[in-house]
Amino acid sequence: MAASRWSLSWRDRPPEEAALLNPAFCGELIARATKDYERIRAAPFPLPLAFVVLPLVLHPPTKDALPGRANTTFATWSADNEALLAELPERTLRLRPISREALLFLTQHRALTVTADGLKTGAAPMKLSAKTSSSTPDADDIRRAAGLIGRWFANQGAPVQILQTMGVTP
């Protein structure tokens, strides 16, 4: 059986994938969603929702279709973007190893802790400035989208309802 591309060492991965899907950057995106979710809801970020952050913000058409405000009605947005969400379960499965690597990175660096209720900001949280010194407009847009996802999910119902609306089963 052939090895999965995600089981390759970092130096053997395609450079573009290694650069975009590295655990530090992907972890930053999950940490931003977690931080904004915690800030709004005063509760841990549900772990299943962490696995849809990357498929939503790293897919340019979906990221571009995200609303500008976190108080947008989730059900209406989902109905208006059915075609994008139809592919979300498959993207979630394909990016699951990347999400896991990012979560492991965050927990190993104590940026996040995993509790029975979900993800919480850890003892050594990432410094999440709005704009980094060496970034691109695309990376900044992705960072903003990750924070929006955290705030948006915080304004919704139970995680199961969010996932069902997007067609993803936990």
Q: Is the dihedral of CA 89, 42, 71, 57 positive or negative?
A: negative
CA distance 85 to 62: 8
Please tell me the distance from the alpha carbon of residue 56 to that of residue 59, in angstroms, as a whole number.
Answer: 6
Residue-wise pLDDT tens digits, 112-126: 999 999 999 999 998
Please report the pLDDT score of residue 17 as a whole number. Answer: 80
pLDDT reported for residue 133: 72
Residue 40, both tokens: 């709004």
CA 2 to chain centre: 28
d(CA 51, CA 49): 5
pLDDT of 14 higher than 60: yes
What's the pLDDT tens digit per position in 120-169? 999 999 888 766 777 888 989 999 999 999 999 999 989 999 999 888 77
**What pLDDT score was predicted for residue 1?**
42
Give 42-89 pLDDT, tens digit per residue.
Answer: 999 999 999 999 999 999 999 999 998 888 888 899 999 999 999 999
pLDDT of 93 above 60: yes
Residue 2 confidence (pLDDT) above 50: no
User: 9 is written with which tokens?
Assistant: 């060492």
Q: How many C-beta neighbours within 10 Å does residue 46 have?
A: 21
